[in-house]
Amino acid sequence: MTVSLPLVFVLGFFAWGAVKFLGVRTWIVVLIALFGFWLSHTFMAPAIESGTRSGVDVINSSHD
């Protein structure tokens, strides 16, 4: 069975869980999200994308 979810939905779910159950403040979640958007427009973006794709490939290949 294959389930396809957008990454934004998954990250939003984890952020909601962190705020609800771990007591993380909402402004910290917003700050981390804004930092991520800023970071995606720097020279580190290709390395982040490559690392993310590699991680997804590792997870997908472990379920074969």
pLDDT band, residue 23 (cuts 50/70/90) = very high
pLDDT at 64 over 60: no
Q: Is the per-residue pLDDT at 21 higher than 90?
A: yes
pTM: 0.59
**Distance of alpha carbon 34 from alpha carbon 53, whole angstroms:** 21
pLDDT for 18 equals 92
| b/e sequence 13-26, b meaning 16+ C-beta within 10 Å | eebeebeeeeeeee
